[in-house]
Amino acid sequence: MQFSENVSLKSLNTFGIEAKARFYYELHSKQELKEIIPIIDKSEKPLLFLGSGSNILFTKDFDGYVVRIVSKGIRIISTNETECFVEAAAGEEWDSLIQFCIQNNLYGLENLSGIPGTVGSAPVQNIGAYGVEVKDCIHLVNIVMTSDFSETGLTNKECRFAYRDSIFKSRFQYRVLVDSVVFRLSRVPRFVLNYGGVTEEVERISPDSVDLKTVSQAIINIRNRKIPDPKVIGSAGSFFKNPIIDQTRFNRIINVFPDLKYFYDLGQNYKLAAAWLIEQCGWKGFRYGDIGVNENQPLILMNFGNASGKDILNLSRKIQQSVLDKFGIVLEPEVNIQ
């Protein structure tokens, strides 16, 4: 197996950060994994699996092996009157799967339209938007252990999905390759429209009827108005998670800040709107040189040209500190920082 050396990752991460991989390889199949892992293990250098680079911030060169997953394929496994099971390879672009669902009238993922990334990274992050999380539709995640190349399928429950979290970010981090994901989709229309102006946008596009294509386009339109195109301005989408706090802390904060934006979570917990917290600290629309905070969605940190990963990281830390000082809330990064 031939690794490329000292490869620029600038075009392989949506922040557009210049960083180099000491060794680089594009993985097309799980069979190739068995050939490259012994080489990596022998070198004792770190391994990083990379999809489309849409949720990562490189703060330095990666002195190890970057393996980019480029496997392709989407197929229907089985179907009945109400459900359809679809398997997609980890290297498939996320929006390719969305288009497959639209073409085959399969419901469940349309609210996740327009999210940059690959299928394999979706369960890792448990991506979510506009009232839907990908865990709602995941049936099985097929993985390969890098230690012994054993293969298994993890059920939805075994993946331990949580808000922007999964077993792949804890116990299995850097230890498994996500080979493919099996989705359980509905053949019966079931739209989630009561979130973030989706209903209004759907009615604007198609006042008389609702279908998959309309909902998907409505989501994309809303995203485009709020989120900069990473092909034009470097970003990784939402940089921070929405913090979740208990009832006691919630009561204490809302007594001081009655305009606090929040969402109910499970039980007695409340999910706070991180964007609102950041805006209240004066960061919305901030720019200094080539770094900045989006003027429409302050969760998005941006690289306007030649910012370094450390520049972005330092900005994120200043935002975290100001939110902590003002509200006593710790913002956790959603982005994988390397």
Of the residues 87, 133, 201, 334, which is catalytic? 334
Determine contact, residues 322/311, Cβ cutoff 8 Å: no
Phi, psi of 164 (to 5 degrees): 50, 40
Rounded Cα distance, 32 and 1, in Å: 9
Of the residues 121, 216, 238, 316, which is catalytic? 238
Rounded Cα distance, 331 and 202, in Å: 33
Rounded Cα distance, 273 and 196, in Å: 13
**No. of H helices and E strands in the chain?**
8, 19
DSSP for 213-251, written as a single string: HHHHHHHHHHHHHHS--TTTSB--SB-BPPPEE-HHHHH
Of the residues 164, 166, 201, 223, which is catalytic? 164
Determine contact, residues 146/177, Cβ cutoff 8 Å: yes
Rounded Cα distance, 109 and 71, in Å: 21
At 53, list the tokens.
Answer: 């680079």
238 carries an active-site annotation: yes
Determine contact, residues 112/98, Cβ cutoff 8 Å: yes
190 carries an active-site annotation: no
Rounded Cα distance, 325 and 310, in Å: 22
Rounded Cα distance, 216 and 103, in Å: 12
54 carries an active-site annotation: no
Rounded Cα distance, 222 and 210, in Å: 17
Catalytic residues: 164, 238, 334
